[in-house]
Amino acid sequence: MATENKNLSHYDKATIPNAKNFRFGIVVSEWNDTITEALYKGAYDALIDNGVDPNNIVRWDVPGSFELVYGCKKMQEQMVNAIIAIGSVIQGETKHFDFVCEGVTQGIKDLNVLHETPIIFCVLTDDTMQQAIDRSGGKHGNKGTEAAIAAIKMAELRKNA
């Protein structure tokens, strides 16, 4: 496993663009909320740590990961510099996992291709709850933190492109 015994959420603040004047949207799935809340906390804390004013962080909740696509589409109307889509899908006994993962992945990709606001994919697609825990503040760090850093970098790219 590529992330075995690695915490990938460490970053060098000196390499992160100044995020003071950016506004971010975060769309959070309510499904598997212990995981998505931990991802949100990681993202929020990293944004604040990099100078984002708390008033410039807009959070919307949606029922599940599949609904992230619509939530992000509507969030684009809120004049944000970048959006973070936070969700958690855990393998079950049916093909539902495959359909949800494929749908949300393609939906977020489509929004990135068709619109100007970058959307960062922070949707965990794990086989077990333990894997999700490990990636939402556990031994592999917090993918929410990584998504926030990506959002800052993409907001800067959008500004300069």
* Inter-residue contact 47 to 39 (CB < 8 Å): no
Catalytic residue among 10, 96, 115, 140: 96
Three-state SS for 71-114 is HHHHHHHHCCCEEEEEEEEECCCCCHHHHHHHHHHHHHHHHHHH
Q: In whole angstroms, give the CA distance from residue 91 to residue 93.
A: 7
Residue 87, token pair as written in the block: 């969700």
Q: Is 10 a catalytic residue?
A: no
CB atoms within 10 A of CB 24: 25
- Positions annotated as catalytic residues are 96
